[in-house]
Structure 1
Amino acid sequence: MPRRTATLLTSTLLLIGLLCAAVLVRVPYAEMSPGPTVNTLGEHDGEPVLNISGEETFESSGHLNMTTVRVTGVNYRMNLLEAVSGWLSDDSAVVPYESIYPEDLSADQVQEQNAEEFTASQESAKVAALEELGYDVGSQTIVAAVAEDSPAEGELHAGDAIVAVDGEEIGEPGEVADLVTGREAGDDVVFTVVPAEQAQAAIEAGDELPAETEEVTVSTVAAPDDQRAIVGITAGVSHSFPFEIEIELADVGGPSAGLMFALGLIDRLTEDDLTGGAFVAGTGTIDTEGTVGPIGGVSQKTIAARDAGAEFFLTPEENCSVAADDVPGGLTLVRVGTLDDALDALADIRAGDTDDLPACEAP
């Protein structure tokens, strides 16, 4: 066999071997890519995203799109060839697998956590939007969760409204932890509660909690990490709204749509069209006070927004430097730190005064 032919054959076989190895070798990475966007003012799968009953609503001509990131599945392991392809792609990001799927959580736990964060973001968005519009929103501290095999198991239940701890009235969840951890391990703590069923009925109806309460005594134990006194519950907040609001959006998890849900609700509940017909997309967590927080995958979300047709992208200020490092053509990034910032920006967009919008700046 001629030397040139032998060399070519050897090189070809080596290349085939390397390609096979690249396909077979699994690497500890996951890929993030632009996901679908959904107009919170419109419909998704034939159903309105925002369902409001018991209050007048108004139609809108523009877009307030929430954005998502598509990630490789929890049970999927990328091969080396896919990882290299993702690294070379302008649209995707290859990140350590553990940064998306922590080792200490199962696939079911990751899914449950994402669902809980999504539900919490909806609740915060409702509160922030309605309070911005001047509606009264009721709140009550409740037992959000009871740890398995803890002293509280079987004594307190998720959904119980906590009225007092050792006779001291409770105004917010943090006060529960302060009062319990202020005891010595082994002490008894008396919880004054309204049972979950009655509390939930009152909260859903927008009524005050019933006067009839129960006293539940729970013995504290020492926390394994720092020996502080605990009973094994997590306190949370349940809100009552002046009318019914349902957010319908399946197959989405995490808290990053909170800002856009809040803006969508404000738009639907006010006669003025917030966008003035413009196509605005965005992202960001939101708390009940209207503070906008950072999210993951902002670069993929800006690409998704641009591809959907967005002109403006509301960007959490803590994500601005990353987002501004590579802005998709035709998209204007607008820096927001609060719900009021977003509303001010929309007012400028609506009026056509876009030259002075607060811009994201690259590092």
Structure 2
Amino acid sequence: MITDQKKKLTEKLIINKLLKKLNFKKTSTYNFQNDGSKIKYPSKKELIVSQDTLVENVHFFKNDTPESIALKSIRTNLSDILSMGGKPLSYTMSISINNTIDYYWIKQFTNSLYKEQKKHNFYLLGGDIVNSKTLSITITVFGLVKKGKLILRSGSNNNDDIWVTGEIGNSYIGLQILKNKITIKKKKIKDYFLKHYFFPSPPLVISQKLFKFMNSAIDISDGFIGDLEKLTLNNSKGALIYVKNIPFSKYSKELINNKIIKIENILSGGDDYQLLFTSKKIYRNKILHLSKKFKCKVSLVGEVNNSKKIEFLGLKLNIMKKSYVHRI
């Protein structure tokens, strides 16, 4: 009997045994038996596209689990689609694998993708598999949005509310733990932060209900402050942020209060993959109602103004780095 670890990897084996299940038998994929696939969508919708590449030792560590790498790869792309008011439809995936990857690893990787696809109803269109010294995954997600309802970063207006979903900083703290930059003795708290780093959770469900109240949005990938600037300053606007309203977890607050980590670092850390968006004040109660209904934190953190600068009410911050910098 040949075990999963000892099966010789070939492109044909990976496609037929592991990847075909991800196309959900959609006829537009031709069951991966042609050189391409077809994208079918209703005439009343518009197609939006986003692509991200995750590379070993840049976006994840060599020893991260295949489940974690799979979910991080797909969810970071899904958050981009959400930020434009879209719902995921399908995706392509190019994966470069090295000689440390075996059949069992890819099986776990694809099983995690399958569960995520089933949960949110999207499928794999196709892709490519190559051999490389470094593990990397490039995913291109296709999403649908109603015609005329595309949400851009440039849609905010003076006096709009600024909102954010979820919590800020948990993933960044998890990364600092892995890098041995900070030490957390309590296993429960340490595992809490590591879970957020390994398994980001963009607001895939509640966002579909929030879209109609948004007039601009961005996903927080490079850091709260840096992405807030992209949302406001690039639109010739400014923002007043209520520091006391920024949604930190209770464990993050403990670390801040005990001066184990600086609030400035959390706000510029990134990898939250939550939505930062603006909305007219008349929609406040409706947004808060959805937050309560879906049991998903949505926090009013500030307001848009014409100052062309970012100000923080309630705290003087010494911000040296505003966001993660992508070095080429």
- Structure with greater helix percent: 2
- Give the TM-score, by structure 2 length: 0.25
CA radius of gyration, larger in: 1
**TM-score calculated relative to the size of structure 1:** 0.23
